Structure 1
Amino acid sequence: MPKELTQIPKDDFTRLFTDDIPLFDTRSPTEFEQGAFPHTDSLPLMSDKERELIGTCYKNKGQDKAIALGHDLVQGKIKEQRLAKWLEFIKKHPDGALYCFRGGLRSQITQQWIFETSGINYPRIKGGYKALRRFLIDETDRIMAKVTPIVIGGQTGCGKTLLLDKLHNKIDLEGLANHRGSAFGSTTTAQPTQINFENNLAIQLIKQQNQTLLTFEDEGSNVGMVHIPQCIQVKTSMAELILLDATVEERLKVSMDAYVIDMRRDFIVQDSENGFDNFANYWLKSLEKIQKRLGLERYKVMLTLVNDALSLYKEQGDSTGFHPVVKELLVGYYDPMYNYQIQKKMDRVVFKGSADEVLAYLNDKSIY
């Protein structure tokens, strides 16, 4: 038996994330849901209820009594079942590691039980989740301080995300946030928690940290419900700005695909029975979000158009009823807001052109 079971120190944290090392989290399910890391499974030592009981015992009777209660609660078949899941994970991921909140008792006990059962010295993260989380926050600040961002802007529907998808040196904030950054920007799945968004963002920055230039899409302080870290907001707000230009027809095509055709398909794939109703609800709720800005009369007109478009699409499979809706939103609603905002940023604009022209410009800067 080794004198001390293996720990992974902070010096190795970069490798964990750049190499997508599989991890398993021994914290309770609720802790995991609040925030974890990519390529991580929730394989708790204790359930939420067990953790609550042990926490109460620790508070009232001290650590020794709490540890004893923990061993009483997690023994016999319960212990065997949890060990079986840990060993199954280890068999699939022999190069992985485990952690708890601070690298303390939960991960130590898990590691010890694994060794006693299998002889496998499976490493645990020194400092646990808290150390990994602190590392990612610090890395976000450090990397953003040294990279030069370039920001892609343009009118709604001009294809900024499609262009970003063609680049290597980029950070896709909307992709990480699972949101397209507008009243109609939600997807068929929930956004990540703020902590998970920040963790995933930091990992992408770590993977791109050797790049001198990084491309971002022009965003506000939030993407949907998640907040962009201050260091990124500050740096991108001063960065060179490239404007992607597209015709109304091109923007209509991109927006119809994203917000109508693809959204309907995704809702139906997710729930074949209620998919179209969920799609309709998405449109009606999104329109309601901008009712105040539209004004009551304009909102009523748009609501009629949306309901007619939904009926046509549901009954005949014809999406063209959305053309006037999407066009009015682009030209009548989003463009005036964009024109107002972009005037404040014109001193930062270094290039404006079509997608091909922007790609050629970025290629000259060794970004594309």
Structure 2
Amino acid sequence: ITQNFRIGEKVGIYCSRGGLRSKSIAVILSELGFRVVRLKGGFKAYRTFVTHYFENEINFDFFTLCGNTGCGKTELLEQLPQAINLEKIANHLGSSFGDILGKQPTQKAFEAELFHNMQNLENFAFIESESRKIGDIILPLKFYEKMQKAFKIYCFCSLENRIKRIQKIYQEKMTPLKFQQCVQKISPYISLNLRQDLLQSYERKEWQKLIVMLLEYYDKTYKKPDKIDLELNTDDILKAKEEILRYFKLKNYILI
């Protein structure tokens, strides 16, 4: 602690139940000159608080970015203020091919980080449309239900840009073994010929052909929202960002 914090700085301390372990460390650090804040009840109490928060109605307005794979939804989300990146928190890109970022957090850690993100925002946020399950992570039910009722922003762009974006995200991180595992996940839903074509294209590094085949598969499975509140061209992410900011400024939302 003394290597990472200066004497006099505020330090937060917690243990499992807020007992003697954290109390003892807090006393020592206080005597050394640190300003110590100890979590009452420990992580267990904090976890209970977070669980209760997500069990109740979410007092939050969501503006959801929808659209086909590769339309730059995540890229746009990262440019926007007041945003929650669920895929970043879950460490997963959301699809059957999204398990390329490494180990996912535990469900408890995910919910704690999501709660922390929400506490740092006003009572509204931009968010990307997701299924309730992101890899092994399951979105809290009340949170997910609130997402379904959200203001829908439908993103669209050219096939050329979709291919470029997907190749940029996946090509370097997708190992041969991981690709085979991902194809295996969707095998029950595709023909044997398509499965063979996908594996063959990957082996030959025919990236554009491979991506087009996958986009054709995913576009067929994508269900466009019944109600769309705003359509947005995302060929140019910065222009799309400015269009969103202009739109919501007219609606009197304060975007900082």
Q: TM-score, normalised by structure 1?
A: 0.61
1:150 is aligned, of 63, 78, 101, to 63
Alignment of 1:88-107 (within 5 A): 88=3, 91=6, 94-107=9-22
Equivalenced residues, count: 247
Structure 1 CA distance for aligned equivalents of residues 8 and 106 of structure 2 = 26
* Cα displacement (A) at 1:359: 4.5
Structure 1: stretches of 5+ with no match in the other structure = 1-85, 265-278, 310-320
Structure 1 CA distance for aligned equivalents of residues 168 and 240 of structure 2 = 23
* Cα displacement (A) at 1:113: 4.9
Report the identity percentage: 27
Describe the shift of the 1:205–1:115 C-alpha distance in structure 2 as closer, same or farther (beyond 3 A).
Answer: closer
Structure 2: stretches of 5+ with no match in the other structure = none
**Is the 8 Å Cα contact of residues 111 and 121 (structure 1) preserved in structure 2?**
no
**Is the 8 Å Cα contact of residues 12 and 38 (structure 2) preserved in structure 1?**
yes
* Cα displacement (A) at 1:115: 5.7
Q: Secondary structure at the match of 2:79?
A: coil
Residue deviations 1:137-169 (CA, integer Å, cap 9, x gap): 344566x63221111100011111011111102
**Is the 8 Å Cα contact of residues 11 and 35 (structure 2) preserved in structure 1?**
no
Does the alignment pair 1:223 with 2:102? no
* Cα displacement (A) at 1:295: 2.5
Structure scoring higher RCO (CA < 8 A, sep ≥ 6) equals 2
Q: Secondary structure at the match of 2:93?
A: coil
Does the alignment pair 1:330 with 2:194? no
1:134 is aligned, of 48, 56, 60, to 48
Partner of 1:201: 114
**Is the 8 Å Cα contact of residues 8 and 33 (structure 2) preserved in structure 1?**
no
Residue deviations 1:153-207 (CA, integer Å, cap 9, x gap): 0001111101111110211111111111001112342111111111111000000
Partner of 1:290: 186
**Is the 8 Å Cα contact of residues 64 and 153 (structure 2) preserved in structure 1?**
yes
Structure 1 CA distance for aligned equivalents of residues 41 and 14 of structure 2 = 8
Does the alignment pair 1:254 with 2:165? yes
Counterpart residue type for residue 175 of structure 1:
K
Residue deviations 1:51-80 (CA, integer Å, cap 9, x gap): xxxxxxxxxxxxxxxxxxxxxxxxxxxxxx
**Is the 8 Å Cα contact of residues 10 and 37 (structure 2) preserved in structure 1?**
no
1:125 is aligned, of 15, 39, 47, to 39
**Is the 8 Å Cα contact of residues 284 and 306 (structure 1) preserved in structure 2?**
no
Residue deviations 1:111-154 (CA, integer Å, cap 9, x gap): 345567x4767442211112222333344566x63221111100
Q: Secondary structure at the match of 1:256?
A: helix
Q: Secondary structure at the match of 1:145?
A: coil
Describe the shift of the 1:122–1:206 C-alpha distance in structure 2 as closer, same or farther (beyond 3 A).
Answer: closer
* Cα displacement (A) at 1:280: 2.0
Structure 2 CA distance for aligned equivalents of residues 198 and 205 of structure 1 = 10
Structure 2 CA distance for aligned equivalents of residues 94 and 169 of structure 1 = 29
Q: TM-score, normalised by structure 2?
A: 0.86
Structure 1 CA distance for aligned equivalents of residues 33 and 148 of structure 2 = 54
Does the alignment pair 1:350 with 2:229? yes
Describe the shift of the 1:257–1:127 C-alpha distance in structure 2 as closer, same or farther (beyond 3 A).
Answer: same
**Is the 8 Å Cα contact of residues 115 and 121 (structure 1) preserved in structure 2?**
yes
Counterpart residue type for residue 177 of structure 2:
N
Describe the shift of the 1:109–1:365 C-alpha distance in structure 2 as closer, same or farther (beyond 3 A).
Answer: same
Structure 2 CA distance for aligned equivalents of residues 352 and 115 of structure 1 = 55
Structure 2 CA distance for aligned equivalents of residues 192 and 200 of structure 1 = 10
Runs of 4+ in structure 1 deviating by more than 6 angstroms, as ranges, are none
Describe the shift of the 1:231–1:93 C-alpha distance in structure 2 as closer, same or farther (beyond 3 A).
Answer: farther
Partner of 2:153: 242
Partner of 2:176: 280
Structure with a larger share of its residues in helix: 1
**Is the 8 Å Cα contact of residues 194 and 226 (structure 1) preserved in structure 2?**
yes
* Cα displacement (A) at 1:242: 1.3
Counterpart residue type for residue 303 of structure 1:
L
Counterpart residue type for residue 12 of structure 2:
A
* Cα displacement (A) at 1:357: 5.0
Q: Secondary structure at the match of 2:62?
A: strand
**Is the 8 Å Cα contact of residues 137 and 202 (structure 1) preserved in structure 2?**
no
Partner of 1:60: none
Q: What is the Cα-based RMSD across aligned positions, in Å?
A: 2.4
